Amino acid sequence: MAETMIKVENVHRRFRNVQAVGGLSFSCAANSVVGFIGANGAGKTTTMRMMVTLDNPDHGLIEMAGYDTLAHPREVRNLVGWMPDHYGAYPNMDVLDYMDFFARAYHLRGTKRRARIDEVMDFTELNRLAERPCQTLSKGEKQRLCLGRTLLSDPKVLILDEPAAGLDPKARLEFKNLVRQLKQMGKTLFISSHILSELGEMCDSLLFIDAGRLVHHGDADSLTNGSVEGLVLRILTKGAPEKLQQFIEQHEQMAVRENLPKGASVNFVIEDGGNVEDSLHELLQTLLAHGIEVYDFHREPKRLEDAFVDMLTIKKN
Amino acid sequence: MLKRFTGEREFSDFFNPILLRELKRAVRSRFFVGAFVLVQLAMILFVTFGMATATTTGQVQSISAIFWVIIGIYVVVLNPLMGFNAIAQEYRDGRHELLVITQLNTNHILLGKLFALNIQGWLTVLSLAPYLTVRYFAGAINPIQELLTVAGILYASIIATTLTVSSSAARTRWGRVVFFLFGGFLLFLFSGMAGTAAAGAGPIGGIAILIMFQSFFSFLFFMSASGMLNRQAVASAAVFDTTPMAAL
């Protein structure tokens, strides 16, 4: 069984009247990429700050590689690299100076420091930007610089808060590649985001939180296929789509997700004990029997975003 | 290997990274360069015209006093005022968390800021050495008295800088103002009391007691600031986190 790198057990954190985190528990294996997903204000950043010793839980336990964050903050800081969602650069400082400053702050000395900066700048492709002032970097370059800073201490665990926010598609692709390489290097990555599709692709498992509580822990497939009821169907018809819409309204099992010019994207719930194939066949037959001229009828893979929203709705109900 | 990293172990490796960064930034700043140039110009004027026109000992002493008042205003008042921004700027830019998550603790950060600011003042005072030498050879100064004045200015700058840098660790502007006023009040009150109490101890004894009291309060300010910075960045039970000023 894989070694547990991150262990969060019944963690609570309250800020005055707001319960930011309420009884959160999960664990992450070493050398895995874990996505941490939740809406704004769900408690993601608070949880991550507690994991990197920048905040204390009111109650509960957080362990990083076996070290309690409260009892051994220094050991935890040696193990963990923290990349917050803000940039934190000094004005009038170039990229190399920035890296050099943080390398010194991590107590890297002499040749060891130079070698490490060189290695990290090479990995994050910052070498060609070495002489550039930090404030002139693009968003993607700044993110790479922040990641570079985080990697200077060669941490075992990387905790990245919204690292892909605001990046253009090319920069996102580069970032994904970096994540993949870091995993190959044996790092454990804990990444928060609300861009679910991206995390689904690069993460081994996903943690969904809402209002400071864990609502789902599993991989993307388990969320889109297994755990949430209902299928998404795309039904297109010849002629006016009103007939189809009337049909949907009359059937409790069906609900419109999105109206399309020639049909609709529909959420279809299979009755308890029902077989998927039989239910879909029956539905198609019924549609045709009602004179709805269906020319396109197929299952759509449920998007992670939709699955998450559905899951939240079900949990709340 | 990058071009700039070709040498062996650097001398700078032995210094606090905050001190290095702050000094590097400060000596390039308009404030430091402007003040430095103005002080040099003032000194050239004083040395050339002042010494040439002063004929009596009283006139020489008056010119000397003006000379040191100008330096004192810069080193003891203007330069320490920059300390109000020292930690506050880190809060504003969200960098304090990035710093404490490294191997630096809050004392390192504060000491780096404190020394960087003091060294700027010391550099300015050091740059006066040629003018003092010229005045000495012109026979216009008492070297012991001048050196004591330099020591006094440097000491006062350390106390003033400690107070302003420590104040800057308060989270809000009002917090900084209150810390500064309260700290300044404590410093003057206890210095006055110590001075009165030490009146019988002679000049050296009196100064020693005064320095002892002021150093004690500066240490309290520093530790209070360290506690405040800790609370802002690292809510950790294992890290020193008290406010000695509050305990007073």
Per-residue pLDDT of chain A (317 residues; tens, 9 = 90+): 568 899 999 999 998 888 889 889 999 999 999 999 888 888 899 999 999 998 889 999 999 999 999 999 889 998 999 998 777 778 788 999 999 999 999 988 888 899 999 999 999 889 899 999 988 988 888 888 999 999 999 999 999 998 887 777 888 888 888 899 999 999 999 999 877 777 777 888 889 888 888 888 887 776 666 544 578 888 999 877 888 888 888 888 888 888 888 888 888 887 776 777 888 898 999 999 988 889 999 887 777 777 777 777 766 66
Q: Residue A132's pLDDT is what?
A: 92
Residue A262 tokens read as: 């020639």
pLDDT digit string (tens) for B74-116? 899 988 998 988 888 888 888 888 888 888 888 899 999 999 9
Q: How far is A245 from chain B (nearest CA, A)?
A: 52
Q: Name which of B115, B120, B113 is nearest B32 in CA terms.
A: B120
In chain B, residues 89-118 whose CB comes closer than 8 Å to chain A = 93-95, 97-104
Residue A272 tokens read as: 């308890």
Q: Residue A15's pLDDT is what?
A: 87
Q: Which residues of B touch A77 (CB under 8 A)?
A: 101-103
Domain A229-301, classified CATH 3.30.70, yes or no: yes
A4-225: CATH architecture: 3-Layer(aba) Sandwich (3.40)
Of B5, B95, B103, the CB nearest to A107: B103
Q: How far apart are CA A191 and CA A126, in angstroms?
A: 22
Across the interface, do A88 and B93 touch by the CB < 8 Å criterion?
yes
Domain boundaries, chain A: 4-225, 229-301
Q: Residue B248's pLDDT is what?
A: 42
Residue A88: DSSP 8-state: -
Q: How far apart are CA A192 and CA A222, in angstroms?
A: 19
Which residue does chain A place closest to B234, by CA atoms? A54
Q: Is A180 on the interface with B (CB under 8 A)?
A: no
Which residue does chain A place closest to B230, by CA atoms? A54
Q: How far is B119 from chain A (nearest CA, A)?
A: 19
Q: Is B173 on the interface with A (CB under 8 A)?
A: no
Return phi, psi of residue A41, to 5°. 85, 10
Residue A273 tokens read as: 């004990």
Q: Residue B240's pLDDT is what?
A: 37
Q: Which residues of B touch A98 (CB under 8 A)?
A: none
Q: What is the DSSP string of B182-230?
A: HHHHHHHHHHHHHHHHGGGGHHHHHHHHHHHHHHHHHHHHHHHHHHHHH
Sequence-ordered alpha helix ranges (H) in chain B? 17-28, 30-45, 51-53, 57-72, 79-81, 88-92, 96-100, 106-126, 129-137, 143-167, 173-197, 202-233, 244-247
Q: Residue A294's pLDDT is what?
A: 92
- Burial (CB < 10 A; 0-12, 13-18, 19+), residue A222, is middle
Q: How far apart are CA B137 and CA A66, in angstroms?
A: 70
Give the CA distances from residue B72 to residues A34, A53, B68, B177, in Å, rounded to whole numbers and listed in that order.
58, 43, 6, 23
Flag residues of chain B having pLDDT under 50. Answer: 1, 3, 235-248
- Burial (CB < 10 A; 0-12, 13-18, 19+), residue A89, is buried
Across the interface, do B235 and A55 touch by the CB < 8 Å criterion?
yes
Across the interface, do B8 and A71 touch by the CB < 8 Å criterion?
no
pLDDT digit string (tens) for B165-190? 999 988 888 889 999 999 888 888 87
pTM for this predicted structure: 0.79
Pick the residue of A114, A145, A153, A157 with the most B CBs within 10 A to test the interface with B by mutation.
A114
